[in-house]
Structure 1
Amino acid sequence: MNSFTLFKHSLFQLNDLHQAKKMPFWKVILYVLFLSIILALPITKQIFSIMQDIKNDGQKIAAKLPDFKITDGKFQTAKGAEGFIYQTNSIIFTFDPDGKRSVNDVTADSVGNAVGLGFLQDEFVIALPNSGAADSLLGASQFEVPYSKGTLDGLNSDNLKKSLDEANVPFWIKLVVFIFTLYPTFINLIINLLMVTIGANLYSKIRLYKLRFLDCLKISTYCATLPVIISSVLHFINSAFDDSFLIVFISLLIFFFAIRKEERQVPPLA
């Protein structure tokens, strides 16, 4: 018996999944990673789509930028250049060389999934949506780069437009994004599997099946295959779908079918 055979059983022969108790634990962990990859695919696709939208919207914004340059820690614009606010589906952009807007204004612009960006009088500001994901991964959702530090010296409207026109997301960034997506997905799946296992172990004790907690964990992991695939498909349709209940509930139902062939203990005589 191997994981590939159990994968097929998880789709077509649920009654044979009880054989998963014989699997080495390290193979079960690898299978959990495989299921996590399936769950991470729609989330990763959504992130890549957002990145592409930001690139396209950035090009639209760049086309409206007046001439400017940052030299010696100072933000300099062409004579007569006026500030403006431009909103797309993914970006709310502020160009304010006159100091009419503050960092807090740019941060307040970042609502929903939109990213707030701003070339202000004294600094460049990035405000990410306040969803908690940025705080957990990056440690903050707002970033300020004062021109006085010299970090942006040499940046001007021409090279910014050229960079946006030629920008492509390199493979290593896609890989990093996928890993960042996979990690919380893996942890969340483990939590769900532990919940399934607790329920499965309780059920096996009540029904007097000769299954240890570890046996229930191994069987539950393969029982989660079909719910994980269904959840992944639903995530492609609706990115806001919460899959935890579905995975736990359906995995438990499948577990009940999977252990029917298991041997039971003889109940003690009264």
Structure 2
Amino acid sequence: MNIFKQFYRSLYSPKDIASFRTQGIWKTIAYLLILSIVTSIPTIYYLNKGMNDGIHTLASTMEEDVPDFRIEDNSLHSELKEPKVINKEDLTIIIDSTGTYNEKNISSSGNTVALLQKEFVIVTAGQAQSFEYSYFGNITATKSDLTDLAQYFDSIIPMLTAIMAVVFFIFLAASKVIEAFILAIFGTFFARILGKGITYKETWKITVYSMTIPTLFFFIMDSLETNVPNGSLLSWFITIFIVFLSIKEIETKTPIKE
């Protein structure tokens, strides 16, 4: 049976999942990589879209709407008497040389790039990261320099997102492997209780295919940008439940009477 048929059968048939335990280990590993690819698609798509839109907006806004400024002696200098806040559809840019803003009062904002008096702050998905200008040494930079830098990053977005996608996929695949190893422990416990004579290796294969339903469910939720409370726990619970149903389908060998 090919991998795509196995994917389909794993959505509804614990008996088929149980039968996959006899196949080669490399086919199961390949299936796990496919699950990792499915899981990563929505995140990589929105990561690419967010970076592309954000950096493109930043580059054009820096050139057209941001007033002149310079960073010198580890501080932001401008002729502004009050902070300049530029709201775009998917990005907010703050230029503040007055000291009005800090990381705390912009950390709840949406996607934001803020050049503040002593630091610059990037906010994405409600998470703020701040960097003091002093971290980079006693630099001197102007609006023109930062505009050129933003335009440069805008031109290499495809390469940046490709690198980030590869790194993200590697970490995701590794986490899937670890998850399968941990959940397979529950499978060996079920096998012992139910009196099924299967090895840990076979249980691990069953566990990998039992991850199909939660993988597809969270693929749909992530594609719709819908947050699922306690998603990891829900995924583990569903997988463990399917592992139990699959192991239950395995025939118990009847001892031969002498």
Q: Same fold (TM over 0.5)?
A: yes
Q: Within 5 A, what are the aligned runs for 1:192-231?
A: 192-231=179-218
The letter for the 1-side match of 2:6 is L
C-alpha deviation, 1:12, in angstroms:
5.4
DSSP-derived class of the 2:11 partner: helix
The letter for the 2-side match of 1:244 is S
DSSP-derived class of the 1:167 partner: helix
From the superposition, tell whether residues 212 and 183 of structure 1 become closer, same or farther in structure 2 (CA, over 3 Å): same
8 Å contact from structure 2 (residues 51, 157) kept in 1: no
DSSP-derived class of the 1:109 partner: coil
2:110 maps to 1:109: no
DSSP-derived class of the 1:94 partner: strand
2:246 to 258, 264, 267: 258
Q: Give, in whole Å, the separation in 1 of the partners of 2:136 and 2:179.
A: 49
- Percent identical: 19
8 Å contact from structure 1 (residues 40, 185) kept in 2: yes
Gaps of 5+ in 2: none
Alignment match, 1:248: 236
Alignment length, in residue pairs? 254
2:84 maps to 1:85: yes
Alignment match, 1:138: none
How well do the aligned residues superpose, as a CA RMSD in angstroms? Answer: 3.9
The letter for the 2-side match of 1:63 is E
The letter for the 2-side match of 1:26 is W
Q: Which region of structure 1 is more displaced relative to structure 2, 88-97 or 202-211?
A: 88-97
From the superposition, tell whether residues 174 and 118 of structure 1 become closer, same or farther in structure 2 (CA, over 3 Å): same
Gaps of 5+ in 1: 135-140
Q: Give, in whole Å, the separation in 2 of the partners of 1:23 and 1:152.
A: 62
Q: Deviations over 1:109-134 (max 9, x none)?
A: 222543342053xx5523445977x8
Alignment match, 2:161: 174
Q: Give, in whole Å, the separation in 1 of the partners of 2:159 and 2:153.
A: 17
- TM superposition score normalised by structure 2: 0.75
The letter for the 1-side match of 2:120 is V
C-alpha deviation, 1:196, in angstroms:
3.1
Q: Deviations over 1:120-179 (max 9, x none)?
A: 3xx5523445977x8xxxxxx3223349946554x4348717954993453221112213
The letter for the 2-side match of 1:264 is T
8 Å contact from structure 1 (residues 83, 94) kept in 2: no
8 Å contact from structure 2 (residues 21, 205) kept in 1: yes
Alignment match, 1:27: 27
Alignment match, 2:65: 64
Alignment match, 1:137: none
Alignment match, 1:125: 120
DSSP-derived class of the 1:6 partner: helix
Q: Give, in whole Å, the separation in 1 of the partners of 2:25 and 2:255.
A: 30
